[in-house]
Amino acid sequence: MQQLAFEMRNISIRYPHFTMENLNLALPKGQVLGLVGVNGAGKSTTIRILMGLVKAQAGQVEVLGYKLPEQQVQAKYDIGFASDDMRLYKSQTLQWHMDFIQSIYPQFDKAYAKDLLHRFELIADQKIKGLSHGQRVKACLLLVLARRPKLLVLDEPTTGLDPVARDEVISELADILRDDERSVLFSSHNTHDIEKLSDQIAFLDRGKLLALQDKESYLESWGRFRCQLASDAAAQVAGAVSIKRNGQLAEIITDQCTPEFGAQLQHAGFKVLEQHRMSLEEIFVANVKRSR
């Protein structure tokens, strides 16, 4: 039986303007799960419940073998958390922060922290107030990663970074995660970041889990077809997620992109002119539109 870093079963919670009903989400140990959703989709709520910061009104949560919220103290010892709103002491150096974290977590790996300093191009003796936003994000990640947590939870850590800095942070983080197997939940509305980091990807919208698959399955199974219509073309085609008609042309999106589906289109009166793979962002948008 596959071991899980965390499992959320039948989670429900209600706020005045947001509802999450029967959410089921699990992360196998040693994998990276990307949680994709627009602002307000429920990503932060999911993470707050997982971290024991919010108690679900229904359902069960288990993290690293501990039940939450009853055993959250034990669980949090092996959880590393980083988000876009984390703050460091501006008047102190990064070295001061490393020493402070080590005083709380004896498993803080000084040699690994030194390696991360080099990778992230940071200077230990530099004060936080002298760092750029991108450097502060890297400093926060260093402090979390050097603890070597069994579960790493990243809640949109690159929000507010310019495109170059964000790509730099994500690329370096991807290299680090490849080097050292660990369980990671990475939340973002940016599908490009998710695609670089994740083994599995979950689409969340309005508190509902729309889909959960490994990255390659999404990219292989979804496709866009540009077709010419015959006069007797069918109104619907089995396996089509959407059909947009424009005169004698049609754009068809499917999550069953196989040779059989192409033959099915021909049989239904659609002459295939072009066929394209879809990006993860396009797949996410198609999933959201299908669910609404």
Q: Give the strands of the sheet with 66-68, arranged side by side.
A: 18-28, 4-15, 58-63, 66-68
In this predicted structure, what is the pLDDT of residue 180? 66
pTM, 2 dp: 0.90
**Are 224 and 275 contacting, i.e. CB atoms less than 8 angstroms apart?**
yes
Separation of CA 76 from chain center:
20
What is the pLDDT at residue 59? Answer: 97
Cα angle 7-36-12, degrees, rounded to a multiple of 5: 45
Residue 181: partners with Cβ closer than 8 Å, 6 or more residues away: 30
Q: How many CB atoms lie within 10 A of CB 246?
A: 8
In the chain, domain spans: 4-213, 222-291
> What does the pLDDT read at residue 142?
94
Confidence at residue 170, expressed as pLDDT on a 0 to 100 scale? 86
Q: Please give the pLDDT value at position 179.
A: 65
Please give the radius of gyration of the chain, using alpha carbons only, rounded to the nearest integer: 22
Walk along the chain (292 residues) and give the pLDDT tens digit of each residue.
678 999 999 999 999 999 999 999 999 998 999 999 988 899 999 999 999 889 999 999 999 999 998 999 999 999 999 988 889 999 999 999 999 999 999 899 999 999 999 988 999 999 999 999 889 999 999 999 999 999 999 998 888 788 888 888 888 788 878 766 789 999 988 888 888 889 999 999 999 999 999 999 999 999 999 999 998 889 899 999 999 999 999 999 999 999 999 999 999 999 999 999 999 999 999 999 998 8
Cα gap 278→268, rounded to integer Å: 23
Q: Can you give the pLDDT at residue 169?
A: 83
Note the pLDDT of residue 188: 87
Output the pLDDT for position 127.
Answer: 97
How far does the chain reach from its first CA to its final CA, in angstroms? 36
| Architecture label for domain 4-213 | 3-Layer(aba) Sandwich (3.40)
Residue 97: per-residue pLDDT: 98
State how far the alpha carbon of 110 is from the alpha carbons of 104, 143, 204, 214, 279, in Å.
14, 10, 37, 34, 40
Under CATH, what is the fold of the domain 222-291?
Alpha-Beta Plaits (3.30.70)
